[in-house]
Every structure is written in structure tokens, then in C-alpha cells.
Structure 1
Amino acid sequence: MKFAASQATARKASVAGLAAVALLGATGCSAINQQATTLQYAPSDGIVAEVGDAELRNIALVTSEPDAEARYIGTLSSNSGEPLEVSITVAGTQTRFSVPAEESLILEDPANEQVIPSSGGFPGAIVDATVEVDGESETVGITILDGTLEEYREFVPGGADPATVEHLYETPAAGEGGH
């Protein structure tokens, strides 16, 4: 009788041990990895940064080819009761933006259009930019985009060339070797 009781206890202990290992396996990832929902990131193609009292939201450069003219897109916002002077320097070209107190400046708006002579890189790259606000300066990486995606084509200086993206949308006919 004593042997049967100890065997049952051993079985219960092994089942409890296996349950603990399974539970640890199911939750172990969060024990050693950062929880993804706590990460802050730019939810679009541009960058997000804060310099002084200015917020840079979805800031990017749109161009047609490497080192060509580029246009700023995104939003600059003021968290100050005073107007802000924001300057962004890319590839040696400084661009100044005047942001009204506690308001936003939307760079896609034709009235706020700013084009620089060179993006300083190629589409798909990130270039270093110096952002200065009221004497405070920070280096950030700004994304360079082109007209591959339709939503950016209207912002390409000089217009987007449709020939550069036609091949992306062609589908071969069944008789031409398609699967």
C-alpha cells in the first residue's frame, strides 16, 4: 500500500513539473524579450523626433533619383506659446521653417513647399540631418522616398516619371510563361 501511495505522489509531482515547464515555455519569451507594444516608433515612412519645443512627425524627403532635388514632407508642430524657427540641414543645405505658436505646419501643403537641391542620398536610404530649434540642435536620420508609391508621386520635384514604375504593375499573360 505504501508503495502505491508513493507512486501516485511521484506521478502527481511529475505532472505538476511538466505543467510548470509548459507554462514557462509559453511565457518565457516575454521574460527575456522586450514587449513589442511598449516600443515607440514612426508608424509611417518618415521619421518622428522632438527637438526643443518642436515635434517632427513623418518627416521625409521625396526625390526622383539619387542626389537630385528633394522636397520635404511631414508635419512640424510647436509645443511652445511662442512661434518657433526650425532649421533642417541636409547635404549642406539649410532650410528654415516658421512654425506658429502651438500650431502645426504641414509640409505637403503647397503654401509650405520646400525643395532642396540635393537629397544627399538615394531613394530608400536615410540621410543625416541637423535639426536646430531655438539654439538646441540634434542629428536625426531622414528617410529618402521616391515616386514608387503612388501617395508620394505628387511630391516628386519636377514630377514623377511613370516609366520608372510601370514594370512593377505588369503581369505576364498565361501564355507568356506565367505560373
Structure 2
Amino acid sequence: MKFAASKATTRNAAVAGLATVALLGATGCSAVNMQATTLQYAPSDGIVANVGDAQLRNIALITTDPEAEARYIGTLASASGEPLEVSITVDGTQTRFSVPGEDSLKLEDPANEQIIPSAGRPGTLVDATVEVDGVSETVGITILDGTLEEYRPFVPGGAEPSVDDHLYVTPAAEEGGH
């Protein structure tokens, strides 16, 4: 009798153990890994950074060539609600921005257009020193070109119309080729 009770107890323990393993297998990833929905990230091509009281949102440089002029896009805002003077230095060229206290400064607006002599190769990051009220930080700013239609209006001197010719259907693709 004692042997039978021990056998039933062992069986119940094995079933409980298998159920626990199955439950952990189904939900274990979220128990030990960070949830992706809790990660904060820049949902666009530009960068997001906070330097002092300045909030830099979707900041990028638009150019066609490493030696060509580049234009800033994105938004600068004041976290404190007070007006700010923000300077961004890229490759020795300092650009100053006056950020209103109660509003943001949208760099895509023609009145806020800022162009620098050169930034670097599109598709890379350039180190930029951002300074606000004595606080200085180096951030990597994205360099983009006019390949994507939404950036073409901001290319200094205009975007080359053929920049995206390679993105369209070719005859081989129409015939079922790869």
C-alpha cells in the first residue's frame, strides 16, 4: 500500500512538473526578457536627444554628397518652457538656434532654414556637439539624402531627379525574374 501511494505521489509530481515546464515555455520569454513595448526609441530617421533643457526631436541633416551643403531638419523644444539658445557644431561649423519658450522650433519651416557647408556621407552619422546653457554633449546626427520623397524638398540646391531610378521596376522583374 505504501508503495502504491508513493507511486501516485511521484506521478502527480511529474505531471505538475511537466505542467510547470509547459507554462514556463509558453510565457518564460516575457519573464526574463525586456518587453519591446517599454523601449523608447526615435520612430523616424532623425535622432532624439535631450541636452540640458533642450529637446532635440528627429534631428537630421539632408545633403547629396559628403562635400555638398547640408540642411538641418527636425524640431527643437524647451523642456523648461523658457527660451533657449542652442548651438550645434558639426565639423567645425557652429549653428545657433533660438528656441522659443512656449513653442517648438520646426527646422523644416522656411523661416528656420539652416544650411552648413558640408556634413558627411548620406547614410551615416556625424558627431555633433550640442551646447545649451553651458551644458555640452556629443550626439550622432543622421545624414540623409533625397532618395526618399519626403526629404527631397529639403535638399540644398534641389534633389537630383534620378536619385531613385534604381528603386523602380526593371524589365527583368516584370518578366518574373528576381
**Common fold, TM-score beyond 0.5?**
yes
Calculate the TM-score normalised by the size of structure 2. 0.91
1:91 matched to which residue of 2?
91
Are residues 130 and 19 of structure 1, via their aligned partners in 2, closer, same or farther at CA, if it must alter by over 3 Å? same
Q: Tell me, yes or no, if structure 1 residue 144 matches structure 2 residue 140.
A: no
Cα offsets for 1:144-178 (capped at 9, x unmatched): 11111111111111111121211111232567562
1:60 matched to which residue of 2?
60
- In structure 2, C-alpha distance between the alignment counterparts of 1:100 and 1:133, rounded to whole Å: 13
- Structure 2 gaps of 5+ residues are none
Alpha-carbon distance, 1:7 to partner: 2.5
Are residues 82 and 9 of structure 1, via their aligned partners in 2, closer, same or farther at CA, if it must alter by over 3 Å? closer
- In structure 1, C-alpha distance between the alignment counterparts of 2:68 and 2:50, rounded to whole Å: 27
- In structure 2, C-alpha distance between the alignment counterparts of 1:143 and 1:175, rounded to whole Å: 35
Calculate the TM-score normalised by the size of structure 1. 0.90
Paired residues of 1:79 and 1:102 also in contact (CA < 8 A): no
1:129 matched to which residue of 2?
128
- The secondary structure found in structure 2 opposite 1:154 is helix
- The secondary structure found in structure 1 opposite 2:138 is strand
- In structure 2, C-alpha distance between the alignment counterparts of 1:33 and 1:161, rounded to whole Å: 45
Are residues 102 and 174 of structure 1, via their aligned partners in 2, closer, same or farther at CA, if it must alter by over 3 Å? closer
- In structure 2, C-alpha distance between the alignment counterparts of 1:178 and 1:3, rounded to whole Å: 71
After superposition, residues 1-179 of structure 1 pair within 5 angstroms as 1-119=1-119, 121-172=120-171, 178=177
For the aligned residue pairs, the C-alpha RMSD in angstroms reads 1.9
- In structure 2, C-alpha distance between the alignment counterparts of 1:85 and 1:43, rounded to whole Å: 26
Alpha-carbon distance, 1:80 to partner: 3.1
Cα offsets for 1:101-140 (capped at 9, x unmatched): 1210000001101111001x21111111000111111111
- Structure 1 gaps of 5+ residues are none
Cα offsets for 1:4-38 (capped at 9, x unmatched): 43322222111110111122223332343222222
- In structure 2, C-alpha distance between the alignment counterparts of 1:107 and 1:93, rounded to whole Å: 17
Greater CA drift, 2-11 or 150-159: 2-11
Instruction: Report the identity percentage.
Output: 81
